[in-house]
């Protein structure tokens, strides 16, 4: 059965009045979700101003955090609204699409946290002035980014099946490792003027 036939069969079971009423409720839920998302954003902005978090964290990271919160609320309400239509073909189609957006934003947030932690640990080790501290700092830096990167990729690819996810992760790990080795070798050669 084709997509068009399934969609047509779904509409055969619903009258125009039922569809209009469900559409009205779906639209109302989506509008409520947008208003709620903006309200939560406003409340978080007031809390951030009052606690003065922007003195400790960059504004771009705060904006990213607020964007993730706001869009998570929007997506949740859009999904509720589409489920209100009670047309399985449309609900399933949009649910499968909408689940990827929080996965990507979660992966991005995880990557940002990993990079921040990696830079922080590298700075601490370099400031300790330990013997061979720069090499240890670089190894730890790449290791933390590697671990957070793997989890971010896994989270971003969560909607795909596990075989595809594992294959993509293996290929990306190999490419990343080759890139890190090439970059560090080039940096060391440049340092010694070769």
Neighbours of 172 (CB within 10 A): 13
SS3 52: coil
Q: Measured between alpha carbons, how far is 58 from 49 in angstroms, rounded to an integer?
A: 13
Q: Measured between alpha carbons, how far is 6 from 25 in angstroms, rounded to an integer?
A: 23
Distance (Å) of CA 52 to CA 26, 46, 65, 117: 38, 10, 15, 21
Entry pTM? 0.58
User: Percent of the chain at pLDDT above 70?
Assistant: 93
Q: What is the mean pLDDT of the chain?
A: 82
Q: Measured between alpha carbons, how far is 32 from 157 in angstroms, rounded to an integer?
A: 30
For residues 31-47, give the mean pLDDT: 93
Residue 39's pLDDT is 95
Residue 38's pLDDT is 95
CB 128 within 8 A of CB 140: no
For residues 107-119, give the mean pLDDT: 84
């Amino acid at each position: 059965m084709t997509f068009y036939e399934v969609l047509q069969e779904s509409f055969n079971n619903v009258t125009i009045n039922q569809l209009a009423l469900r559409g009205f409720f779906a639209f109302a839920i989506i509008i409520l979700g947008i208003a709620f998302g903006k309200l939560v954003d406003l409340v978080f902005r007031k809390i951030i101003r009052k606690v003065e978090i922007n003195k400790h964290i960059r504004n771009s990271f705060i904006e990213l955090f607020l964007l993730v919160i706001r869009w998570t609320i929007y997506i949740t309400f859009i999904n509720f609204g589409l489920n209100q239509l009670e047309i399985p073909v449309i609900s399933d189609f949009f649910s499968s699409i909408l689940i990827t957006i929080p996965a990507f934003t979660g992966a991005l947030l995880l990557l940002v946290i990993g990079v921040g932690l990696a830079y922080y640990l590298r700075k601490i080790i370099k400031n300790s002035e330990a013997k061979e501290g720069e090499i240890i700092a670089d190894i730890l830096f790449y290791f933390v980014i590697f671990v957070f990167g793997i989890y971010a990729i896994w989270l971003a690819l969560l909607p795909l099946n596990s075989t595809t996810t594992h294959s993509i992760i293996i290929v990306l790990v190999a490419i990343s490792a080759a890139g890190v080795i090439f970059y560090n070798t080039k940096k060391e050669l440049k340092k010694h003027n070769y």
